[in-house]
Chains A and B, each alone.
Chain A
Amino acid sequence: MNELLPAYAAGSLCGADRERVRAHLAGCARCRADLAAWRAIADAAAPGDAAPDAAWMVRTVLTRSAIEGPADPPGDGPWARRLRYAAALVMAEARLIRLAVPVASALVMALGVAVVLVQAAAVARSAADAGVVLALVAPIVAAAGVAGTYRSRRDPATELVAATPTAGPLLLLVRLALVFGYDLVLAVTASAVLTVTAAGGAASLHTLIAAWLGPMALLSSVSLLAAVRFGTDVALGAAIGLWAVRVLAGGVLARDDWPARFIVDAWSTNAAVLAMSVVFGIAAVVMAGRIGPYDGEPRGGRRATHQT
């Protein structure tokens, strides 16, 4: 009987048990005293205030539900959520890239392929030349695309991007992955086309890719670094200038001079070049995080507010 008293005091005992306790209490002073003690606790634990009004509460909850966004579907792990978030991010960034950029990249690359094919048809060219053409075209296409990834203040989407809760460097990374990934796919496709049509002669796909991969990574990373630090236009100019020097060193300048040799060596596919590209890329993303989307304009350039 003693066992049932707390529930009886709380009023949570159901029918038969409640009657049994009530009947017992009438004849048991000890249990009545015990019950009084439980009731004392029950009374003391009860809140002094009433709960908030129902209409107010429901309105508040519905508002919060609308503002705080939809809940994740039940049974969703953090990985599924992250994946969905990443996919949404890529989709959103893809929409922000101007159509002209991928189209122009594809056209230039196609032009390169066409040049090789036409030449191969006209003259029996050697394997090296397909590689040379690709090595000249692919890096500058990628570098030009990457130069445009870092948004200046004049970009109409800047304001919107600045208002998102996603960190600027992450957005830059996503955009980079999209643009550079697209250019990589383009270049690989071009290499594959040349290999399949045998315009590259005996050159394997591997050799062709090796011809442009290193220069493409290095030029793109330099271009990105310049874009973050000085702006898109400067980056584009720097990339074109650097690449012009490389082209001159490969063709016009005497090939045996040590500066020319050095320049050509610096623009090839090897571990050092790729590592250097990665370092430049990381530096650019870190710098973008430091500067932030608002101050990412050229140093010494126009400011929104002028000090008088």
Chain B
Amino acid sequence: MARAEPGGDEALLRAVATGDAGALTRLYERHGDALFGYLYQLAGDRMTAEEILQDTMLAVWRSAAAFEGRSKATTWLFGVARRQAHNRLRGRPDPRTTGIPLPDRPDQGAGPDELAIAAAGGTPVAAAIDRLPDHHRDVIALVFVAGLPLADVAEMLAIPIGTVKSRLHHARAAVAAALTAQEVPE
């Protein structure tokens, strides 16, 4: 899958490694939104997400030479972002996990229909996602916000692809259960 053609992400990263600021700009233009969305989801507020995004781009600027092309450039980028987020968010008290207890059993509450209807209102689902445990939110953000293929997510998190899928389903079930508990109107 690794693209080697000029203008590809890998070529851009190599250019960044040689100190080409224009390449950093192009890389950011290409992936900035996805990176920001991912970090926003992890951090929970815009200010912190922007700070981590800065940290991330700084780390990319400084250590692009460490990219060896063994993984895809996007996987590497999001890996850097994830590490920076962990560095900054570590030890921070998490106000989100104080809400509703999450069920262990999958998919016994609301069905997909209810979820979809609730989405029309927007915020209850987002609120439910916010209350997910970190490792579930991480997967949701990598798959839906960053738009990474499931195989890349598995590689990045160093877990089997089956675990990525099961986390996705658990997360969805938890969101559905949270919505039921809040009695979102159908």
Binding site for B on A (CB under 8 A): 3, 6-7, 9-14, 33-34, 36-47, 49-52, 54-55, 57-58, 60-62, 64-65, 68, 71, 74
Contacts and interface: CB of A to CB of B under 8 A. Distances in A.
Contacts of A38: 144, 172
Contacts, number: 134
A50 B143 contact: no
14 contacts: A7-B143, A12-B143, A37-B113, A40-B115, A40-B119, A41-B119, A41-B144, A44-B125, A45-B126, A46-B37, A58-B24, A61-B24, A62-B61, A74-B63
A7 B165 CA distance: 10
B58 A65 contact: yes
Interface string B138-150: 0011011101111
Contact of A45 (B49, B118, B141): B141
Contacts of B37: 45-47, 51
A43 B112 contact: no
A74 B66 contact: yes
A65 B168 CA distance: 37
A61 B52 CA distance: 12
Contacts of B73: none
In this complex, the member of A6, A36, A42, A62 whose beta carbon has the largest number of chain B beta carbons within 10 angstroms is A6
Given A37-B116, A47-B36, A9 B144 contact: yes
B80 interface: no
Interface in B136-169: 140-141, 143-145, 147-150, 165, 168
- B interface secondary structure, majority: helix
Interface of B: 21, 24-25, 28-29, 32-33, 35-37, 40-41, 46, 49-50, 53-54, 57-58, 61-63, 65-66, 111-113, 115-116, 118-119, 122-123, 125-126, 128-129, 140-141, 143-145, 147-150, 165, 168, 171-172, 175-176
- A interface secondary structure, majority: helix
B28 A62 contact: no
Contacts of B149: 7, 12-14
B143 A61 contact: no
In this complex, the member of A12, A14, A40, A46 whose beta carbon has the largest number of chain B beta carbons within 10 angstroms is A40
A96 B24 CA distance: 41
Contacts of B143: 6-7, 10, 12
A57 B41 contact: no
Contacts of A3: 165
A105 to B, nearest CB: 44
B115 A58 contact: no
A62 B35 CA distance: 18
Nearest to B28: A54
Contacts of B150: 6-7, 12
A12 B41 contact: no
A43 B129 CA distance: 11
B112 A33 contact: yes
A40 B118 contact: yes
Nearest to A35: B112
A219 to B, nearest CB: 50
Nearest to A55: B25
A74 to B, nearest CB: 5
Name the 8 nearest CB pairs between A and B, nearest first.
A40-B119, A51-B36, A37-B112, A36-B116, A44-B125, A71-B62, A42-B144, A44-B126
Contacts of A10: 143-144, 147
B61 A12 contact: no
A41 B24 contact: no
Contacts of B125: 40-41, 43-44
Given A44-B119, A57-B54, 19 more contacts: A6-B150, A7-B143, A9-B144, A34-B112, A36-B113, A36-B115, A37-B111, A38-B144, A41-B144, A41-B172, A44-B122, A44-B126, A44-B129, A45-B37, A45-B144, A47-B41, A51-B35, A58-B25, A61-B58
A221 B24 CA distance: 56
Contacts of B61: 61-62, 65
A40 B47 CA distance: 25
Contacts of A12: 143, 147-150
A6 B119 contact: no
A3 B29 CA distance: 31
B113 A33 contact: yes
Given A10-B147, A65-B61, A54 B129 contact: no
B54 A41 contact: no
Nearest to B139: A6
